[in-house]
Chains A and B, each alone.
Chain A
Amino acid sequence: MTERYSTLVVNRDICTGCRACEVACSLAHEGCFWPEKSRVQVYKQEADGVDYPVVCRQCDEPACMEACPAEALKRNPKTGAILVVEENCVSCGACVDACPYEGARLLEGEDKPLICDLCGGEPSCVQRCVVHALKYRNVSGQVITAPVQAITLPQEKLR
């Protein structure tokens, strides 16, 4: 049996495009409001109402880990999240090129890639996604969401 990993579950159809996930991620990792450095990035086509959170999928067989020449990517033993071992990383960008989902980014002027680490098992982005376009499925298969759910489409009660 293969090992089970936790992951973020993305539903692009209901994403509001607010980018609260980006702000939360940057606050958790950088200690300030810094969407550019967020591990999750919301791509948009405003004219078509497309809002698409892009983030590491924590693949079962990660192309990034395979591509890394320096053993700088390893799994968090608790969550299975792919972590960057900074002292090993040689900033070659092979992981970024290998990822088919644009889940890893290497910013201009920075030397380490940005990859979602699932905040050690309590993803901060999920807590601010009130429409539940981002959910967290942990190793035991439990699904965790924001503490509230905004009703976004009509229900009988409202009519």
Chain B
Amino acid sequence: MRKGVLHVNIQGGYAGTILKVDLTDGRVAKEALGDEIKSYLGGRGLNIRKLFSLVDHHTDPLSPQNPLLFSAGPLAGTMFPGGARFNVSAKSPHTGILGDANAGGFFGPELKFAGYDQLIISGRSVKPVYLLITDDRVEIRPADHLWGRDVWETQKALQEELKDSRIQVACIGPAAENGVTFAGVFANLVRTAARTGMGTVMGAKNLKAVVVRGRGCIPIHDRERFQDLLNRIDEKIYAHSDYQARAMMGTTKLVNALNKFGCLATRHFLAGDFAGADAVSGEELAAQLKVKSKACFACTIPCSRFFRIPSGPYAGLASEGPEFEGLAGFSSRVGCDDLGFALQGVDDCNRLGMDVITASECVSFVMECYAEGLLSRDELDGLEPHWGDQHAVRELLRKIVYREGIGNLLARGVRHAARELGRGTEKLAMHIKGLEVFQADPRGLKGYALGFALASRGGDHLRSEPSFEFSNDPDEGMRRYGAKESAFRLEYKGKGRLVKHYEEWSALSDCLSACKNTIVNMEIINFEEGAELLQSLSGIPFTGEGVQQACERVLNLERAFIVREGIRRSDDTLPERFLKEPLPGEHPSKGSVVELEAMLDEYYEARGWDLNTGIPTRETLIRLGLEDVVGELLAARVPVV
């Protein structure tokens, strides 16, 4: 049994090895983790460093040349609460730019216990296979018998086949096999690296699952120091004003919270307040259907739950989950106030293997098109998807996965569908850079709006989550971001600097592979404390400034990646509805639109990016040690100045 032999410079925290598997020729290679962790920390950072060099703007995302990277950072598998995550990255077949998604559960830690910080899968297998990693042993095994099975059936079959309930399975469902471009990678049945089609890349490689069983340990450089830091972290968590609400409801509390602000995506963003919110809220779920709390690896904030529906049309449905995104996606977004149905919609996506955000956008996009007369019953294979029509929603989901009729049009997301359809539907496609936005209406959340517009993987909230704008604390706003307004969600000033800071903070969380709810939203650790934790675990002398700069480097490298794909300032925008249509309704965000340009200016300036193009300047890239990236960009004819 491995006892965690690391090379001399890394004494713990990390597992120490990168595993490379080529599915074309079956070759397996291992290499020692190198100095790049000092500059990129791990997780998402390590992935973008490798991915930037492995692909370029010519790479076809569905070709064998597009690698698939799994990475678990230095807190994964430790006692840090929520040190449970992993990132999956590749060039995205959904957006054509950066693909990157993150999930919790138990897979990330298991990869570390097996001895690996990163897994790089290249090539393509001729036949369906799964990868079995048992500590040092790596096998590519046939998966013909698993192909076509859903996520839940696949995990069950693998547990039975391998006679071990402690294996961790990251797998794809039929959506990925059928080339739906927003298919996710699913671990622990419902823990999904959902966004940007990482499951689709897996499917294109004929890779049904990655199965890991790790029986080794992750060493600690300075146990006493780590324990001291953890004690402080524990105290902060337990005393946090949000602690009990998070343990009770997790992110599902956002249904009611956002509804009160008038920012709950309702009927495809035609409204920001939903009359049925209470009925589908986190409070209602906890009160009526929750069986018990659930948690990711070693987490002391059990924000997930197991639920069971005892009666009604969805009686018998039982699962862990959902998150806010799924719950609101199949309730307010599609105009349905039936809690059981919302859970069923999420369950459909989980089993079939696709992203609930993009899937619910596809469905609600069709509903609005139908309501506006832009899509007819005939074009919808006889469906009449009125708001809240449960049958139509489930049928559309099924059609997407099996590429039937209208589903085939939607299987590449709303940007593609609207381009094919034309007739003015483009305005109704709620995506940014090809990635669909989640269920918060950015018109009442200016910082979030800016974060959406800028996110390196397209329309996404998890790249920044600038929750400080809910604080209403002007003095702290002045201190942190040089503007009192930054503390208020409807104000603009300071939001550029706010988003820059939160992007780096979120990157810290993704690079360490620990939970963003803990690190960022609950503000449990900052860059200095992150550095102390890293140092106590690894023995590498990290500093707060160095860690912050590493996160800044990650953001700039991701920007360089998408800039190489052609992204410019004009792409850092929002769907027209958010810029031009005042948010209707009687609520505190009534009448809002987003005025983006001044916030963008402030942001680019704070970042050191060119104001006109949104391209990182040569000076900025060189300050961050990215000289090679300047060269790469120039070679790709990107005008770096």
Contacts and interface: CB of A to CB of B under 8 A. Distances in A.
B79 A34 contact: no
Interface in B276-310: 283, 286-287, 290-302, 304, 306, 308
Interface in A9-24: 13-20, 23-24
B252 to A, nearest CB: 12
A20 B300 contact: yes
A31 B219 CA distance: 8
Interface string A121-158: 00000001011000000000000000110111110001
Contact of A18 (B287, B297, B319): B297
Given A31-B223, A46-B188, A150 B292 contact: no
Interface stretch (A37-45, A61-69, A70-78, A91-99): A37-45
Q: How large is the interface on A (under 10, 10 to 19, 20 to 34, 35 or more residues)?
A: 35 or more
A18 B244 contact: no
B320 A26 contact: no
A151 B297 contact: no
Given A47-B152, A147-B238, A24 B283 contact: no
Interface stretch (A81-89, A102-110, A112-120): A102-110
B366 interface: no
A36 B167 CA distance: 12
A33 B238 contact: no
B223 A152 contact: no
Given A18-B295, A20-B79, A48 B287 contact: no
B71 interface: no
A151 B1 contact: no
A46 B168 CA distance: 11
Given A49-B320, A147-B238, A154-B283, A16 B155 contact: no
Contacts of B78: 23, 33
Contact of B283 (A18, A47, A153, A159): A159
A36 B220 contact: no
Interface of A is mostly: loop
A27 B230 CA distance: 13
A154 B286 contact: yes
A20 B293 contact: no
Interface string B104-141: 00100100010000000000000000000000000000
Contact of B216 (A14, A36, A48, A131): A36
A108 B247 contact: no
Interface string B215-232: 111111001000000000
A35 interface: yes
A10 to B, nearest CB: 14
Contacts of A107: 1, 215
Given A35-B113, A46-B320, A14 B292 contact: yes
Contacts of A152: 247-248, 292-293, 302
A24 to B, nearest CB: 7
A90 interface: no
A125 to B, nearest CB: 11
B300 A128 contact: yes
Interface in B224-253: 234, 238, 243-245, 247-248
